[in-house]
Structure 1
Amino acid sequence: MAQATQLGERRTSVDEIFDHLHDEILSLRLRPGDKISEADIAAQFGVSRQPVRDAFSRLATLDLLLIRPQRATEVKRFSSRAIVKSRFVRAAVEQEVLRRAARQCDALGAAELDRAIAAQEQAIQDNDVDAFGRLDYEFHKTLCAIAKASFAFDVIMTEKSKVDRLCILSLSKGDRMPELVADHREMAEAVKSHDVEKAVETGMRHLSRLDDTIEQISVTNANYFERETLQDL
């Protein structure tokens, strides 16, 4: 990790450390199972251990760090149970969002969807995976706004963040962005034409794109996953 400049007052340092580590973890520069040290991070940012501790705590709340007393803190491994739960919740919320969006989409909403798709296509041309990830969030946020259910995006964002690292691995394994933007385009067209069934069908197919990636990674990078018994699932 690059040397960070010394930070000022404590609240800012906590936020900066959190943002830095959050980005390192989600981008997989820090990988599942990697160990990180309070002392090393404190030295890197030129602060005491307390703001580092606070940032670690926030990351642990998001299920991104595993903090163990008297043992090294490590980047949280994937939990198959947590992935299944997260995707179940998100699918239920997304279905209702798509139903409402397809019923209520107006000209303004249609224009916002067109702009969102155009931005994603530009990210593909630029081969910008990071930008595409941000635009993916914005696309689903736009659907929630069209559905007049902006609160639903809070749930989607929480659940999506739990599998974002898998999404990054998915995008890094072959040229997946065109496939995903094609899904988004089909969802947008269904919503714009008020085709409720098509919108939901396409949305659920879109969410299922990660299935093969999860299966492959669980075999090729088994160390990225927690050891869980059948009773845990």
Structure 2
Amino acid sequence: MAQIVRVTASEEIYQTLRSEILSLRFKPGEELNLQLLSEQLQVSRSPVRDALMRLSGDNLVDIFPQKGTRVSLIDLKQVEEERFLRKSLEESAVRKFMHVQTEAHLKTMEETIVLQQNAMKEENFVNFLEADNAFHGIIFSGINMSRIWTLIQSQGGNHHRIRLLSFSEKNVLGNIIDQHRKMVGSLRLKDLTEVLSLEDKHLSKLLQETESMVLRYPEFFKREAPTQPFYMRSNYAKELS
């Protein structure tokens, strides 16, 4: 029985810390003190340590032996991998959804758009993103593949955080709502070409916003050391001499 209680506590702590990271309440690069977290959550260090290990596997936490733990910086390479994963799977899901969609599905999508409008008025970016995810989740639940959507979300921590950052850019929220409205309209008309075009614009727009976000929040992003072409590296030059 004690083991079951511990697993439940560890899962709850994992979800709590993950939510804090994804909502940017824990900033990229922020130190996470094991003892302090244990005291704040009123639990022993062991389930907190387990949760941090899981978050490390999600690429949301960096653990440095003997040095400490910090929230992972946003890795642009991983952002692109996560975006590619989502775009590939969601476009396939839309093709299937087109054949099974019902008016009830589309009405529910429209309800999430209303939630986004409310969140935009309140400038509540976290709620806006939750409603955004709910909108797209309907596509996967509609084809009985909710587990795929869960996989996309579990593997999309970097993409999630950069999306949240992008909401502070001018007109971003309004444009997302407009694209969602157009998607629902195209789904009603069963215009697959238009829906896929809107999906591509919707899921690729972040590429256009990334540069300005890196300039605005440079401390949040992982910096890769520039790599020289192999023919310029010193060892290779020595081999030629």
Give the TM-score normalised by the residue count of structure 2.
Answer: 0.83
Aligned residue number for residue 149 of structure 1: 145
Counterpart-to-counterpart distance in 1, 2:43 and 2:153: 31
Deviations 1:128-178 (A, max 9, x none): 322211111111111112344334313332344331111111112335222
Of 167-176 and 32-41, deviating more is 167-176
- The question of whether the paired residues in 2 share the 8 Å contact of 1:38 and 1:52 is answered with yes
- AA aligned to 2:152 is I
Partner of 2:190: 194
Q: Distance in 1 between matches of 2:182 and 2:69?
A: 43
Q: 2:154 aligns with which of 151, 155, 158?
A: 158
Secondary structure at 2:28 match in 1 = coil
The TM-score with structure 1 as length reference comes to: 0.85
Change in CA separation of 1:219 and 1:126 when aligned onto 2, cut-off 3 Å: closer
Residues 28 and 220 in structure 2, CA contact (< 8 A), matched pair in contact too:
yes
Q: Does 1:70 align with 2:66?
A: yes
Equivalence for 2:82: 86
Contact 1:18/1:55, CA 8 A, preserved across alignment: yes
Matched, 1:43 2:39: yes
**1:20 and 1:158 mapped to 2: Cα distance?**
14
Partners of 2:86 and 2:130 in 1: CA distance: 18
- Distance in 1 between the 2:15 and 2:170 partners? 28
Does the C-alpha gap of structure 1 residues 97 and 123 become closer, same or farther in structure 2, counting only changes over 3 Å?
A: same
Aligned residues: 223
Answer yes or no: is the 8 Å Cα contact 1:97–1:152 preserved in 2.
no
Q: CA separation in 1, counterparts of 2:179 and 2:120?
A: 14
The RMSD of aligned alpha carbons is 2.1
> Which whole-Å CA distance do the structure 1 matches of 2:122 and 2:217 have between them?
29
| Alpha-carbon distance in 1 for matches of 2:175, 2:155 | 22
Indicate conservation of the 8 Å contact 1:86/1:162, yes or no.
yes
* Aligned CA distance change for structure 1 residues 154 and 46 (closer, same or farther; 3 Å): closer
Residue identity (%): 27
Q: Are 1:168 and 2:138 matched, yes or no?
A: no
Q: Which residue of 2 aligns with 1:5?
A: none
Deviations 1:174-211 (A, max 9, x none): 35222111111111111121111111100110112212
Greater shift in the superposed pair: 41-50 or 163-172:
41-50
* 4+ residue segments displaced more than 4 Å: none
Q: State the distance in 1 between where 2:44 and 2:110 align.
A: 48
Say whether the 8 Å CA contact 1:90–1:159 is kept in structure 2.
no
Compare CA radii of gyration and give the structure with the larger one: 2
Question: Among 98, 122, 134, which residue is 1:138 paired with?
Answer: 134
